[in-house]
Amino acid sequence: MLLSSLQSASFAKVASVGLAFVAILTVLVWLRHLASDIKIRKLGGTLFVCYLLIITTASKLYYEIGKNQYNNNLVAWCTAQLDNLPPGKRAFAEFSLTGSKRVLITRDPEQIKAILATNISSFGHGSMWHKLWRPFLGDGIFAVDGQLWHDSRAMIKPMFVRDRLRNLAIFDACTSKLLSKIPSAGATVDLKDLFYRWSMDTTTEFLLGENVDSLDFPDNDVLNAMHVAQRIQMFIFVLNPIAPLIPKGDYHRAIRRIEEFIEPAIARTLAIPQARLEELSKLDMEFSFLHSIARYTRDPKVIRDQIMSVLLAARDTTAATMSWAMYELSNYPKLWARLRKEVLRELGSHATPTYEALKDLTFVKNILNETLRLHPAAPLNMRQVLETTTIPGRPGEPGVVLLKGDSVTINTLGMHMYADLYPPVSDTFADPRIFSPERWEHWTPKPWTYAPFSGGPRICAGQNFALTEMAFCLVRLAQRFESIEYRGDWAAQRLRADIIGTPALGVHMALYEPGEKPDLRFKRHAN
């Protein structure tokens, strides 16, 4: 009896302390909210009611974010926050977990323009981003701001100039191997898997002058390490306030495996005399991205960080976009027939595409543009406010005041899918939710309503490289295969966003050369 009474008393005491802690924390957060409110109002802005000032509500939000990321639904969750806004009230959604640091989500073109271009000095990745990504990307171009970013840009840009892209030998060799891995008529193949291996080989060949040969060895541990590192990195970033609680053993082992692949190549390059590097720079085939960076710096860590950054961006963008392009085309046989007709008319069935020829293939470009509109490689883009500033509000309303330390999530996919930014549906302009490359024959997006490669000074330096690589591959596929069909439930496909957005269910298809008969069991009706 006495023991029971003591236990009850102890429980009551613990409960009281716990409730007191929650109450004190809530009051502190509320006071921080009021302090932020005062700052914003002094600058002419309005801080909207903060609903997340209670620890249980904040915990619920963390749970929602983590759950949606785990279920590949985070992008849709961000878009839903915008769709659920009161009509005509705001151009952005916002919340705060601490009462002071806000997180805004926007798909408004004028706000995005301010963040990425006209007011770019007030925005960047910030110290938190750098801290969270440093084990993976170090001080590479995608993890830094200011002078470090300018230095990184200067290092990598020379390899993406037009003259460097005219030689398509790397694309040709890797795409030929890709085609050799596509089975005969009627056999199902996951094109997403092939595209990721193809892109890994192409990218490492371009970066290092040697590739991981993942097309020949599907279980390549470097390829697998990239998948693991990216998946865990996304969780670390999305759940950053509780990132220390996330197990990171697999993450660090994966990064180390990638480093073990690139470090010997870096060492070999640094052993090359500077004069020889200058000679190599005048050659196309023997001069790699690694050689180019070594002309600027002899620091192996600096080189490592830039290689990791470009490897991440170049591999995933092309693989994901090609996966989505073939997924969409498989639902529209007439579009595939038109693509093939253009390619055969201009190049025939065997000619190797040149850089100049690819630029003249209008329908190929329209397919890639439409794919990137519906499926931008980076559906979300994050920026931190580096100094207190203002971005445009709704027309006729005051600007939105952002305090130093606030964060902004640019919902690129949400913007691309926002019906208000498009012309009315007509005979020449299909519903924006539908894959329709033909729309590009009659329509040009308004500035800052189409941004698959970001925009402003930090626009992707490698976009021409990516577009050329994808166009080359798409042309080669169209030259060889007369028809394609999707295997599985086409409508069940969904987005998986591990930094880059990819088809979550893979892209299982069969491809048929001329004379081969499609399997009627899988015949689909074009919409």
Number of Cβ atoms within 10 Å of the Cβ of 305: 24
Same domain, 273 and 346: yes
CA distance 502 to 511: 21
CA distance 438 to 475: 18
Cβ partners under 8 Å of residue 208, min gap 6: 262, 265, 288, 289, 290, 307
Residue with tokens 């088809």: 503
Residue 76 has pLDDT above 80, yes or no: yes
pLDDT tens for each residue of 301-359: 999 999 999 999 888 999 999 999 999 999 999 999 999 999 999 999 999 999 999 99
Same domain, 335 and 426: yes
CA distance 458 to 467: 17
Average pLDDT over every residue of 47-63? 57
Predicted local distance difference test score (pLDDT) of residue 474: 99
CA distance 198 to 60: 41
Predicted local distance difference test score (pLDDT) of residue 11: 46
Mind giving me the DSSP string for 349-413? TTPPPPHHHHHT-HHHHHHHHHHHHHS-SSSEEEEEESS-EEE--STTSPPEEE-TT-EEEEEHH
- The answer as to whether 122 is a domain residue is no
Pick out the residues of the known binding site for heme: 460
Name the band, by pLDDT with cuts 50, 70 and 90, for residue 2.
very low
Residue 33 has pLDDT above 60, yes or no: no
Average pLDDT over all residues of the chain: 87
Residue 426 has pLDDT above 80, yes or no: yes
Largest Cα separation within the chain, whole Å, is 94
Ramachandran class of 396: left when φ > 0, alpha when ψ lies in -120 to 50, beta otherwise: left
Predicted local distance difference test score (pLDDT) of residue 124: 95
Predicted local distance difference test score (pLDDT) of residue 44: 63
Indicate the residue type of 459.
Answer: I
Name the band, by pLDDT with cuts 50, 70 and 90, for residue 167.
confident
Predicted local distance difference test score (pLDDT) of residue 25: 47
DSSP code of residue 237:
H
Number of Cβ atoms within 10 Å of the Cβ of 128: 17
CATH number of the domain to which 356 belongs: 1.10.630.10
Same domain, 489 and 369: yes
Average pLDDT over every residue of 45-64? 58
Helices 249-270 and 300-329 pack at an angle, to 10 degrees, of 110
> What is the enclosing helix (H) or strand (E) of 249?
helix 249-270
Out of 106, 141, 171, pick the residue that ends a domain. 106
Mind giving me the DSSP string for 471-487? HHHHHHHHHH-SEEEE-
- The answer as to whether 378 is a domain residue is yes
- The answer as to whether 119 is a domain residue is no
- The answer as to whether 382 is a domain residue is yes
DSSP code of residue 521:
G
Residue 6 has pLDDT above 70, yes or no: no
Determine the structural domain holding residue 191 and report its residue range: 129-522
CA distance 348 to 342: 9
- The answer as to whether 468 is a domain residue is yes
Same domain, 141 and 69: no
> What is the enclosing helix (H) or strand (E) of 257?
helix 249-270
CA distance 232 to 335: 38
Same domain, 58 and 144: no
Name the band, by pLDDT with cuts 50, 70 and 90, for residue 498.
confident
Same domain, 199 and 232: yes
Instruction: Report which of 369, 365, 373, 405 is spatially closest to residue 389, judged by C-alpha positions.
Output: 405
Residue 55 has pLDDT above 70, yes or no: no
Out of 45, 75, 106, pick the residue that ends a domain. 106
Predicted local distance difference test score (pLDDT) of residue 243: 82
CA distance 488 to 294: 47
Pick out the residues of the known binding site: 460
The bridge status of strand 407-411 relative to strand 483-486 is: unpaired
Indicate the residue type of 476.
Answer: R
Same domain, 430 and 480: yes
- The answer as to whether 120 is a domain residue is no
Same domain, 217 and 351: yes
Same domain, 94 and 136: no
DSSP code of residue 511:
E
* Share of residues in the chain with pLDDT > 70 (%): 84
* Share of residues in the chain with pLDDT > 90 (%): 63
How many domains does the structure of the chain reveal? 2
Instruction: Report which of 31, 72, 44 is spatially closest to residue 380, judged by C-alpha positions.
Output: 72
| Paired tokens of 439 | 């729309």
Residue 29 has pLDDT above 60, yes or no: no
Residue 187 has pLDDT above 80, yes or no: yes
Predicted local distance difference test score (pLDDT) of residue 358: 96
Q: Which of 21-35, 95-109, 435-449, 469-483 has the lowest mean pLDDT?
A: 21-35
Out of 91, 106, 121, pick the residue that ends a domain. 106
pLDDT tens for each residue of 247-299: 999 999 999 999 999 999 999 999 999 999 888 887 766 788 999 999 999 99
Instruction: Report which of 225, 213, 214 is spatially closest to residue 260, judged by C-alpha positions.
Output: 225
Same domain, 169 and 235: yes
- The answer as to whether 201 is a domain residue is yes
- The answer as to whether 21 is a domain residue is yes
CA distance 422 to 505: 29
Same domain, 222 and 74: no
Same domain, 416 and 499: yes
